[in-house]
Amino acid sequence: MSHELLMIARAWHFAAERHSTQKRKGSAGEPYVNHLAEVAELVAFATDGADANLVAAAVLHDAIEDTKTSHAELATLFNKDIADLVAEVTDDKGLPKGRRKEPQVEKASSKSSRAKILKLADKTSNLRSLAKSPPADWSETRRKEYVAWAKQVAEGLRGSNDWIEARFDEAAAIVSRVLNLKTNPAPKLRRQKKG
C-alpha cells in the first residue's frame, strides 16, 4: 500500500473523530464530514490527484479552527507541509467573530498557490451548500452578503487553478440564481378567458 494512500486514510480517520459531533449550519443538518469530503474531492480533481498532501490538508482544513487540534499535533501526526497548509487557511480565532471575514479578503492574494486552491474549494463547497441547504436563520440579505463576500475572497485567490476557479464561478452563479428567484419570483400567468 502506498504511503500517500495510508496518509489520506489516516487524515479521514482523524477528521471523522474530531468532527464527529458537528453538523453543517444548513437546514438539512448534514454531518460536517460531508463538507470535508466535498472539499477534498474538489482539491483532488483540481490537482489531478497529484498532490496527496494538499488532499489530506483539505480533509483536515477545519481541524485547527473548529476542533481542539493544534498545528504542532498535525505536524507530528502527518507532516509539516500538511500542518502549514491547514494553518494557512485557518481564520484567526483571536479576532471577534464579526471581524474574521475581513482578513480573508485582505490576505487572499498573498496565500501560496496550493492554499488558494484549498480555499477556493472550501468556498465552492460553502456556496453549493448555501444553494441547497441554507441555514434556516439566515435572511435573504445575509445570504446575499455571504455570496458577495465569498466573491471578494475568490478574486484574491484567482490565478492558481483554472478548474477550481470555474467550479467556484458555477457555484456562485447557481446560488445567486436561487437567491434571485426567491427575491423576485416569476409572475403568475393569468388565464385567458375563452372568448
For residue 123, name the pLDDT band (cuts at 50, 70, 90): very high
Contact yes or no for 90/64 (Cβ under 8 A):
yes
For residue 182, name the pLDDT band (cuts at 50, 70, 90): low
Of these residues, 30, 41, 66, 84, which one is catalytic?
Answer: 66
Q: Domains plus CATH for the chain? A: 3-183 (1.10.3210.10)
Of these residues, 41, 65, 73, 81, which one is catalytic?
Answer: 65
Scored b (16 or more CB within 10 A) or e, 4-38 reads eeebbeebbebbeebbeeeebbbeeeeebbebbbb
Residue 56 has pLDDT above 70, yes or no: yes
Considering just the CA atoms, what is the radius of gyration of the chain in Å?
19
Specify whether 66 is catalytic.
yes
Residue 128: predicted pLDDT:
96
Of 45-59, 94-108, 136-150, 181-195, the one with minimum mean pLDDT is: 181-195
Specify whether 170 is catalytic.
no
Residue 38 has pLDDT above 70, yes or no: yes
Residue 26: predicted pLDDT:
87
